[in-house]
Amino acid sequence: MSDLPQQIQQRAQFRAEDDLLRQMGYAKPHRRHRKRLASVLADPVLGLEAPMYDFVHGRRDFLRALCRALRIPEHSCRAFIAERDALEKAECQAYQPWLFVDTGFRRSDRPGMPLFALALLEHRRRLKLPAYTWRLPWEQQLVLAQARVREHMAESGGELKVWGRIQRYLFCYAEDHKLEIAPSGEVLGDASGTGLSRSSVTLKGKPIVLLNDDKDDAT
């Protein structure tokens, strides 16, 4: 792993913010520019995971300009950006492990509820795990999933509105591979053959992505 973040922090501490920003191309440094600089300096990935453009620099150009202003060799900056780009590409292509909250729900359980309403609430049955989960060894992924199960049970009280009482969780850790986890967090066994239901609405045969508030996942 590159030590570029440490190099930048060490050199930047001896430079006045506005002088550094002016050298980077900001003729009249503004508070938002100083805020961005401070954010990048404190970030282990130097702002490369947060797309941003302030009418002067995008995320990569900002880092390049910062390195030039601090007289850090261009090849060090280029190598760091390439490393982050490769990781970002791998993350996009990797299977992102997640949890399905199984309440044994059947459409007949809510005969009067519009399908649109169920589709809007579908996200409550699908729990995200941290974006870095796929990078972890298998055993650590499972520990993380078990911890999320216990956390979700505490948040939800063991029940999802509309969907019903939580019976189990399915840890989807790879394409067509699942593990059954009890509400207590105990692993019950392989569940790879289990199909997952999904409520959705379509327009001209294409699924419509419905906006939702992830803060409601546990209620």
Write down the pLDDT at residue 193.
Answer: 82
What DSSP character marks residue 117?
Answer: H
71 lies in which domain range? 4-92
Mean pLDDT of 101-123: 77
Residues 140, 175 share a domain: yes
Write down the pLDDT at residue 1.
Answer: 54
Q: pLDDT of 56-69, one tens digit each?
A: 999 999 999 999 99
**Percent of the chain residues topping a pLDDT of 90:** 65
Residues 174, 159 share a domain: yes
Can you tell me the distance from the alpha carbon of 61 to that of 67, in angstroms, rounded to the nearest whole number?
A: 10
Residues 179, 73 share a domain: no
**In the block, residue with structure tokens 């490393």:** 83
For 56, 70, 107, the CA distances from 63, given in Å and listed in that order, are 12, 11, 52
What pLDDT band is residue 199 in, cutting at 50, 70 and 90? low
Residues 63, 117 share a domain: no
